[in-house]
Amino acid sequence: MAEHALTTSGESTSALPGLPGVVSDWSADKQAFPVPWGKAMMWIFLLSDTFIFTCFLTSYMNVRISTTVPWPNPSEVFSLDIGGAHIPLILIAIMTMVLITSSGTMAMAVNFGYRRHRANTTALMLITAAFGATFVGMQAFEWTKLIREGVRPWGNPLGATQFGSCFFMITGFHGLHVSAGVIYLTVVALRVWRGFYDRKGSYETVEITGLYWHFVDLVWVFIFAFFYLW
Amino acid sequence: MDTVAGHARAEEHQQHPIAIYLWIWALLFIFSTFSYLIDYFHLHGYLRWSLIITFMLLKAGFIVAVFMHMAWERLALKFAILVPPLCLLILIGLMAVEGDYTFLTRLAAFLR
């Protein structure tokens, strides 16, 4: 009652900014989040995924702190010899750049989607998917290299036994997310190209796909810092 | 055709200038390069860790705020998504303490 009296401009109370806005959004008998349901659900899904990845990274932290055997040095394990030069961690640096590039092209795709540039949106989404596929390819190369060097989930010749299980679990689960994202992006890009979202009258699905893709990049930021730079 | 009709109703609520995405994109490249250089130049100790975590949080913050449009969402959605992960800090703290304890017990057992 009092809040209705406060909004003299005739606007709904749901448009209140700041903390009073939180209270009115949650307490009124109405939809709490003024976003498309697909977007809200994607955020909730990403929240649950945050918990999963944090559990993986936390268990990795725990076994790495508690082991008495020296941990293999990631800087050396993931180095490559390019043109006779020995460059530490270069493979992971390139993978990081590839994923960030794909995140940028995805952000542009969402922007062009809202501007209803169908061709640009499709092209940028397909480029994003191609960068994603490149990333997965490099990860396959990395796995092959480590497996050839004798790294297994139950042991490795480089140091602490837990290195292998943490590596395959964390990068494997992330790689699975990237692979799923490549398929998701391709499906949505083809729908954009066929004009599905023009007929639907909304390009929100492109933004929702973008949320998923940026999250994959976000997880990599943490994996890069904690698994590769530790 | 599509674009002509689109310009008429281009006022979607998540429409932002392209320049801001390009800026964030460039910043992400710069922060990643710095992170890599920390390892390349073998920085150690608190300097290494404060820099790595600073760059990590900056990158994560920019991705969530701008690329995922969280900066333009309503506060109710921000709270619903960003507050629950704070519980994870408790898990991380507990597991760090637990890891130290296990390490010490192992040392005590192996060195006896």
Q: How far is CA A130 from CA A92, A95, B71, in A?
A: 18, 13, 28
pLDDT range class, residue B50, cuts 50, 70, 90: very high
Q: pLDDT tens digit string along B93-103?
A: 999 999 999 99
pLDDT of residue A12: 52
pLDDT of residue B112: 67
Chain B residue nearest residue A222, CA to CA: B56
Report the gap between the CA of A39 and the closest CA in chain B (Å): 11
In eight-state DSSP terms, residue A224 is I
Average pLDDT for A72-76: 86
Q: What is the pTM of this model?
A: 0.86
pLDDT of residue B41: 87
pLDDT range class, residue B18, cuts 50, 70, 90: confident
Q: Rounded to whole angstroms, how far apart are CA atoms A197 and A199? A: 5
Given a cut of 60, is residue A190 above it in pLDDT? yes
pLDDT of residue B13: 65
Interface test with A, best of B41, B59, B91, B106 (most A CBs within 10 A): B59
Average pLDDT for B46-62: 93
How does the average pLDDT of chain A come out, rounded? 89
Instruction: Say yes or no for a CB contact (<8 Å) between B6 and A107.
Output: no
Given a cut of 70, is residue B14 above it in pLDDT? yes
Q: pLDDT tens digit string along A128-173?
A: 999 999 999 999 999 999 999 989 999 888 889 999 999 999 999 9
Instruction: Say yes or no for a CB contact (<8 Å) between A89 and B36.
Output: yes
pLDDT of residue A9: 44
Cβ-Cβ contacts under 8 Å for A139 (sequence gap 6 or more): A95, A171, A175, A178
Instruction: Say yes or no for a CB contact (<8 Å) between B91 and A93.
Output: no
- Considering only the beta carbons, identify the residue of A19, A108, A229 that sits closest to B39: A229
Higher-pLDDT residue of A230, A177: A177
pLDDT of residue A3: 44
Q: pLDDT tens digit string along A11-39?
A: 455 578 888 888 887 777 777 888 888 99
pLDDT of residue A51: 96
Given a cut of 60, is residue A124 above it in pLDDT? yes
Given a cut of 50, is residue B7 above it in pLDDT? no
Instruction: Say yes or no for a CB contact (<8 Å) between A50 and B88.
Output: yes
Instruction: Say yes or no for a CB contact (<8 Å) between B75 and A218.
Output: no
pLDDT range class, residue A230, cuts 50, 70, 90: confident
| Chain B residues with beta carbon closer than 8 angstroms to that of A67 | 103
User: Among A52, A165, A53, A65, which residue's Cα sits nearest to residue B98?
Assistant: A65
Higher-pLDDT residue of B107, B10: B107
**B57: exposed, middle or buried (Cβ count in 10 Å: 0-12, 13-18, 19+):** middle
